[in-house]
């Protein structure tokens, strides 16, 4: 039994009698903007609204490779798949995975994924969701570059921002990423304006979210841009998602200044994680400890620049 059938049966049994009535979004006549109807502000306009097709589904592609982080793409997948537009015949979104080949991919935690399409056979997407992953190669980057010419939103989740950044599309633009990757990202991509403490960042048809669960909030934000606040609220209610990060891009401010070096231990200056006391470098008389050797190597190439990035300069 799928979710829609479960909800319908629950309603038929009267179990949904106490659920507040929620109505579909309404377009404001002649403005092209979508009206939000939250209890606290029923006149607020949704910023950067997107226009859904009059009929048919919005194609959403999830490019994946080895190590694709499950929550990064399954979280947004669940959000998009749960959207129901009352009176609309077709599902709001058509979701599919795409990869270099259709061979099974070993994702995070050992989950095996069989891609639905290759980059040569995939339908043209209007939304692209790029999760953190370790196997992204040039064919994926080229597909993202080409497809983004006609997308409404190309979004990254967590360190999927590295994949998007490597396409060159983010050059000169704003983005965010997983909070433990701030310093490394700032050093590797100095031409990108990194926004620390952002739940998500939008810049044109590009968007990026913070780590892991932040991707769900960015997905809710995309739903809101297409169909309005009420539809996004109803979707969140139906899947029992109580987070409100999708309504406030600045809701990750707690991660603006992560702890660096504490009295009882030293943290890796590249990612802020617990360090290995056997992996060290000395710079200007101070010893720095690293969680892994590749972070030490990155630091050693330009310590001053790394420490400047760590301070948000």
For residue 209, give the nearest of 159, 271, 153, 150 by alpha carbon: 159
3.40.50, 2.160.20, 2.30.30, 2.30.170: which CATH number matches 259-310? 2.30.170
Tens-place pLDDT, residues 181-194: 998 899 899 999 99
Tens-place pLDDT, residues 101-126: 999 999 999 999 999 999 999 999 99
Ramachandran assignment for 209, one of left (phi > 0), alpha (psi -120 to 50 degrees), beta (any other): beta
State the chain's mean pLDDT as an integer.
Answer: 86
Tens-place pLDDT, residues 121-158: 999 999 999 999 999 999 999 999 999 999 999 999 99
What is the rounded average pLDDT of the residues 245-258?
89
Of 84-98, 250-264, 278-292, the least confident: 250-264
Distance CA 124, CA 305 (A): 40
pTM of the model: 0.80
Residue 79 confidence (pLDDT)? 98
Long-range contacts from 41-44, C-beta under 8 angstroms, 24+ separation: 44/229
C-beta of residue 221 within 8 angstroms of C-beta of residue 229? no
**CA distances to 51, 58, 110 from 55, in Å:** 11, 9, 38
For residue 277, give the nearest of 262, 261, 290, 294 by alpha carbon: 290
Tens-place pLDDT, residues 51-83: 999 999 999 999 999 999 999 999 999 999 999
**CA distances to 256, 296, 298, 301, 305 from 289, in Å:** 22, 8, 13, 15, 17
C-beta of residue 57 within 8 angstroms of C-beta of residue 94? yes
3-state DSSP: the chain helix, strand, coil percent, rounded to 5?
30, 20, 50
What is the rounded average pLDDT of the residues 290-297?
88
Residue 259 confidence (pLDDT)? 56
Asked if residue 215 has pLDDT above 70, the reply is yes
Asked if residue 21 has pLDDT above 50, the reply is no
In the chain, the percentage of residues whose pLDDT exceeds 70 is 82
CATH number of 3-254: 3.40.50.880
Q: In which band, very low, low, confident or very high, does the pLDDT at 169 lie, cut at 50, 70 and 90?
A: very high
Give the distance from CA 181 to its chain's centroid: 14
Residue 46 confidence (pLDDT)? 85
Domain parsing of the chain, residue ranges: 3-254, 259-310
């Amino acid at each position: 039994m799928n979710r829609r059938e479960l909800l319908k049966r629950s309603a038929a049994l009267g179990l949904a009698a106490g659920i507040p009535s929620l109505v579909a979004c309404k377009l404001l006549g002649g403005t092209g903007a979508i009206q939000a109807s939250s209890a606290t502000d029923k006149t607020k306009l949704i910023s950067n609204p997107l226009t859904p097709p009059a009929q048919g589904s919005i194609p959403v592609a999830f490019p994946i490779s080895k190590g694709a982080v499950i929550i990064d793409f399954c979280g947004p997948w669940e959000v998009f798949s749960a959207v129901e537009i009352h009176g609309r015949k077709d599902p709001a979104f058509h979701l599919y995975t795409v990869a270099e080949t259709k061979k099974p991919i070993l994702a995070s935690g050992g989950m095996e994924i069989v891609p639905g399409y290759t980059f040569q056979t995939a339908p043209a997407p209007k939304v692209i969701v790029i999760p953190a992953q370790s196997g992204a190669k040039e064919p994926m980057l080229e597909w993202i570059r080409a497809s983004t010419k006609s997308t409404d939103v190309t979004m990254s989740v967590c360190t999927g921002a590295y994949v998007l950044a490597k396409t060159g599309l983010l050059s000169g633009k704003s983005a965010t990423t997983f909070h433990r990757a701030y310093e490394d990202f700032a050093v590797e991509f100095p031409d990108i304006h990194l926004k620390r403490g952002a739940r998500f960042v939008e810049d044109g048809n590009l968007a990026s979210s913070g780590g892991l669960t932040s991707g769900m909030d960015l997905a809710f934000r995309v739903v809101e841009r297409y169909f309005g606040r009420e539809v996004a609220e109803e979707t969140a209610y139906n899947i029992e998602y109580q987070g409100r990060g999708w309504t406030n891009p600045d809701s990750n401010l707690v991660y603006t200044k992560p702890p660096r070096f504490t009295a009882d231990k030293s943290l890796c200056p590249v990612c802020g994680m617990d360090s290995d006391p056997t992996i060290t470098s000395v710079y200007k008389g101070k010893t720095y400890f690293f969680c892994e050797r590749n972070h030490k190597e990155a630091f050693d190439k330009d310590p001053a620049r790394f420490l400047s990035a760590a301070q948000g300069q």
